[in-house]
């Protein structure tokens, strides 16, 4: 096996700018799989986090990101670079997640609420206990959203993306994103309020 | 009565917006809050304050969920990267075979392998980062050996004298193509497509 | 000697050439190693190497196509030449009665 570029990437860190990406993207598009491995290594953590928020669990998120990045490798020669690589792969992962969410049957929604993407974190036990109920409530409420509402809401509220970015990632207008986020918020406040 | 227990009628059947009892739309009230714009009406309006309070309760839970799902800092992407690259290596795009040595030897090197050598050679010049590398093959009538040309795009440090730098890159590439590969080049076209400020320049050994 | 044995013999000759890292893994082997998480050395024996013989009987011209990955410190063209020489020598040893020269194509697919 050739040397593992996954390891070579470890020193790069995650703060590489989009400008640095462009060189790697060009090289990967020309068939340099090691450049692609660096891109994967750089972007996978944020993509998995986003997908886990979208889908509610890490294993499904990893599958979605894996499928999306393999499809990105296949599509790279046609990538026109009108957007950044980051926006482009976000869009592919988002689409993947939307398909997974759409394919879930209503019963799965409730199951998914139990498998919260909440790994070990550094919050005091007391605070965990206090916040668990509220977060569980929110998780359950999220499963009632449509796939499209959930996707836009997660990108906005959990991922902290701009409406412009979400519009590009989801492939709809900014107005449509705003409308979906609004409807999601309305649905969530109503659900949370109803149980209080 | 609050907006919650007595939900106003949606202005549209699909609930795109709804009017609060004071006549303002809920979307507008929330939007002003999201944009952190001053909203003088809010102070005097019970309905709007309740609507905003509802959103604030949601935001508290959202913040906690966001903290709980912040896996990225701790996430180790190595296993996932390995899985992805295992599949990618089944679908490589090696490009075309390029002739090595003399024309009648029937010895070849795949374009992507040759391009990798060219880029690596260019990047031995301090501050240079290599991007696109195209290796073209031109067969002329009456001439047995095809002409092989390299077209390389690089990012160069803004501080460097560009003429000298391009010359260094050219020499480095020629040396590698001859010494490492044994391929005979007709010409090298080096294009500087971007200039890097000192702050952007990669430190030594950060990339490979 | 059957066909597989011939291929094994030529593959061994190629792997003995200085500067050859390995024969390019065939897709089947890559799938196996992807699934198993390992690459078995023995599995490379026939990958990256294709042999066929044109014409009938034991007299036809050998057509050999070798794909190799070369060690970084070696010069690719020299390794490719060494590979062709090793394959030709191996064929002469195995088929002394064949007079027609073999057609040997060597492709470097990667450098380590």
DSSP assignment of chain A: ----HHHHGGGT-S---HHHHHHHHHHHHTT-HHHHHHHHHHHHHHHHHHHHHHHSSHHHHHHHHHHHHHHHHHHGGG---SS-HHHHHHHHHHHHHHHHHHH--HHHHHHHHHS-S-------HHHHHHHHHHHHHHHHHHTTS-HHHHHHHIIIIIS---HHHHHHHHTS-HHHHHHHHHHHHHHHHHHHHHT-
Residue C58 pLDDT grade (very low, low, confident, very high; cuts 50, 70, 90) = low
| Contact across the interface for A23 and B70, Cβ inside 8 Å | no
pLDDT score of B160: 83
pLDDT for A116 beyond 50 = no
Instruction: Judge whether residue B208 has pLDDT over 60.
Output: no
The mean per-residue pLDDT over the stretch B134-141 comes to: 90
pLDDT of residue A126: 59
Instruction: Confirm or reject contact between B182 and chain C (CB < 8 A).
Output: yes
What's the pLDDT score for residue A145? 93
Q: Which residues of B are less than 8 Å from C27 in CB distance?
A: 90
> Torsion angle, CA of A195/B1/B2/B6, rounded to 10 degrees?
70
The chain C residue lying nearest B115, using CA atoms, is C110
Q: What is the largest CA-CA distance in chain C?
A: 45
SS3 C106: strand
Residue of B nearest to A141 (CA): B58
| Least confident window among B4-8, B39-43, B65-69, B155-159 | B4-8
Q: Which of C31, C72, C103 sits opposite B90 (nearest CB)?
A: C31
Q: What is the pLDDT of residue A3?
A: 40
Asked whether the predicted pLDDT for residue A7 surpasses 80, the reply is no
Write out pLDDT tens, residues A122-157.
Answer: 455 555 566 678 888 898 899 999 999 999 999 999
Contact A79, A28 (CB under 8 A): no
pLDDT reported for residue A127 = 56
Mean pLDDT of chain C: 79
Examine the pLDDT at A120 and tell me if it is beyond 50: no
pLDDT of residue A19: 61
> C3-111: what fold?
Alpha-Beta Plaits (3.30.70)
Nearest CA in chain C to B178: C75
Question: Chain B: residue nearest C31 by CA?
Answer: B90
Average pLDDT over residues A144-173: 93
Subunit contact B105:C81, Cβ cutoff 8 A? yes
CA distances from A104 to A108, A112, A155, A187, B29 (A): 6, 10, 20, 19, 34
Tokens of C92: 């002469």
- Give the pair of three-digit tokens for residue A127: 């605070």
How many angstroms away from the CA of C75 is the closest CA of chain A? Answer: 17
How far is residue A81's CA from residue B131's CA, in Å, rounded to a whole number?
Answer: 14
Q: What is the pLDDT of residue A121?
A: 45
What percentage of chain B reaches a pLDDT higher than 90?
Answer: 56
Find the mean pLDDT for residues A39-47.
95
> Span A5-194: which CATH code?
1.10.1740.10
Q: Per the CB < 8 Å rule, is B108 touching C75?
A: no
Residues 162-181 of B with CB under 8 A from A: none
Residue-range domains of chain B with CATH: 1-75 (no CATH), 94-196 (3.30.70.1350)
Does the pLDDT at position C36 exceed 60? no
Q: Is B87 on the interface with C (CB under 8 A)?
A: yes
Average pLDDT over residues C45-68: 78
What per-residue confidence (pLDDT) applies to A15?
41
**Please, what's the b/e burial string for B49-66 (b: 16 or more CB within 10 A of its CB; e: otherwise)?**
ebbbebbeebbebbebbb
What tens digit of pLDDT does each residue of A72-98 get? 999 999 998 788 899 999 999 999 999
Q: Output the CA torsion sign for A24, A25, A26, A28.
A: positive
Which of left, alpha, beta for A17 (phi over 0: left; psi -120 to 50: alpha)?
Answer: beta
Confidence bin at A8 (pLDDT 50/70/90): very low
pLDDT band, very low/low/confident/very high, at C54 (cuts 50, 70, 90): confident
Residues 6+ away with beta carbon under 8 Å from C95:
C58, C62
Helices (H), B35-122: 40-44, 46-68, 78-88, 111-122
Give the DSSP H or E segment for C10.
helix C3-15
Mean pLDDT of chain A: 82
The pLDDT of residue A166 is above 90: yes
Taking CB atoms and an 8 Å cutoff, what residues of chain B touch A46?
Answer: 72
Distance from CA of A34 to the nearest CA of C (A): 12
Name the B residues in 62-121 with CB < 8 Å from any A CB.
62, 64-75, 77-78, 80-85, 87-89, 91-95, 111-112, 115-116, 119
Mean pLDDT of chain B: 85
Q: Does C5 touch chain A (CB under 8 A)?
A: no
Residue of B nearest to A13 (CA): B206
- Signed CA dihedral, A32, B125, B173, C110: sign only: negative
Q: Which contacts (CB < 8 Å, 24+ apart) does range A154-160 have?
A: A154/A50, A154/A53, A154/A54, A155/A50, A155/A94, A156/A181, A157/A181, A157/B62, A157/B66, A158/A53, A158/B62, A158/B65, A158/B66, A158/B69, A159/A49, A159/A50, A159/A53
As a whole number, mean pLDDT of residues B155-182 equals 93
pLDDT tens track for C64-101: 999 999 998 899 999 999 999 999 999 999 988 877 88
Boundaries of every domain in chain C: 3-111
Residue B134: pLDDT band with limits 50, 70, 90? very high
Q: How confident is the model at residue B67 (pLDDT cuts 50, 70, 90)?
A: confident
Q: Would you state the pLDDT for residue C101?
A: 83
Report chain C residues whose CB lies below 8 A from the CB of A3: 112
Spell out which residues of chain C touch residue B109, defining contact as CB-CB under 8 Å: 76, 80, 107-108
What is the pLDDT confidence band of residue A119, given thresholds at 50, 70 and 90?
A: very low
Q: Residue B63: pLDDT band by 50, 70, 90 thresholds? A: very high
Residues of chain B positioned with their CB less than 8 A from the CB of A17: 200
Q: What is the pLDDT of residue C8?
A: 87
* Residue C34 C-alpha, separation from nearest chain B C-alpha, in angstroms: 6
Touching subunits of C (3+ CB pairs, under 8 Å) are A, B
- Cα separation values, A81 from A25, A89, B118, Å: 9, 12, 24
pLDDT grade, residue A11 (50/70/90)? very low
Residue C52 and residue C7 in contact, taking contact as beta carbons nearer than 8 Å: no
Taking residues B179-201, report their average pLDDT: 86
Per-residue pLDDT, B192: 94
Q: Which residues are CB-contacts of B80 (< 8 A; sequence separation ≥ 6)?
A: A40, A44, A48, A62, A65, A66
What residue spans define the domains of chain A? 5-194
């Amino acid at each position: 096996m050739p040397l593992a570029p996954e390891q070579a990437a470890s020193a790069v860190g995650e703060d590489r700018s989009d400008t640095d990406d462009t060189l790697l993207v060009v090289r990967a598009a020309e068939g340099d799989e090691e450049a692609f491995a660096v891109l994967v290594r750089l972007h996978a953590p944020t993509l998995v986090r986003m997908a886990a928020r979208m889908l509610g669990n890490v294993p499904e998120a990893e599958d979605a990101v894996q499928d999306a990045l393999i499809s990105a490798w296949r599509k790279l020669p046609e990538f026109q670079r009108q957007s950044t690589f980051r926006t482009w792969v976000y869009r592919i992962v988002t689409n993947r997640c939307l398909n997974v969410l759409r394919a879930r049957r209503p019963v799965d929604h409730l199951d998914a609420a139990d498998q919260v993407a909440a790994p070990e974190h550094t919050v005091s036990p007391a605070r965990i206990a206090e916040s668990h109920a509220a977060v569980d409530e929110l998780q359950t409420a999220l499963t009632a959203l449509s796939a499209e509402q959930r996707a836009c809401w997660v990108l906005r509220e959990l991922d902290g993306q701009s409406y412009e970015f979400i519009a590009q990632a989801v492939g709809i207008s900014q107005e449509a994103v705003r409308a979906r986020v609004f409807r999601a918020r309305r649905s969530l406040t109503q659900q949370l309020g109803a149980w209080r | 009565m609050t907006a919650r227990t007595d939900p106003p009628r949606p202005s549209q059947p699909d609930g795109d917006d709804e009017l609060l009892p004071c006549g303002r739309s809920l979307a507008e009230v929330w939007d002003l809050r999201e944009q952190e714009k001053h909203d003088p009406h809010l102070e005097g309006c019970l309905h709007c304050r309740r609507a905003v309070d509802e959103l604030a309760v949601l935001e508290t839970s959202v913040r906690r969920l966001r903290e709980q799902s912040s896996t990225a800092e701790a996430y180790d992407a190595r296993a996932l990267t390995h899985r992805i690259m295992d599949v990618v290596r089944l679908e490589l795009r090696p490009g075309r075979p390029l002739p090595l040595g003399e024309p009648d030897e029937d010895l070849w090197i795949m374009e992507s392998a040759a391009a990798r050598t060219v880029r690596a050679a260019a990047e031995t010049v301090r501050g240079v980062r290599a991007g696109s590398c195209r290796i073209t093959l031109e067969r002329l009538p009456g001439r047995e050996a095809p002409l092989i040309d390299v077209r390389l795009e690089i990012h160069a440090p803004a501080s460097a004298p560009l003429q000298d730098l391009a010359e260094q890159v050219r020499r480095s590439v020629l040396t590698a193509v001859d010494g490492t590969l044994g391929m005979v080049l007709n010409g090298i076209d080096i294009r500087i497509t971007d200039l890097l400020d000192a702050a952007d320049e990669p430190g030594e050994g950060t990339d490979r | 000697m059957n066909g597989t044995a011939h291929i094994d013999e030529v593959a061994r000759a190629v792997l003995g050439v200085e500067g050859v890292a390995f024969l390019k893994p065939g897709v089947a082997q890559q799938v196996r190693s992807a699934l198993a998480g390992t690459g078995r050395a023995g599995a490379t024996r026939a990958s990256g190497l294709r042999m066929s013989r044109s014409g009938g009987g034991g007299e036809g011209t050998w057509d050999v196509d070798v794909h190799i990955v070369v060690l970084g410190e070696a010069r690719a063209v020299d390794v490719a030449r060494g590979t062709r020489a090793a394959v030709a020598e191996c064929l002469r040893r195995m088929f002394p009665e064949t007079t027609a020269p073999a057609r040997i194509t060597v492709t470097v697919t990667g450098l380590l």
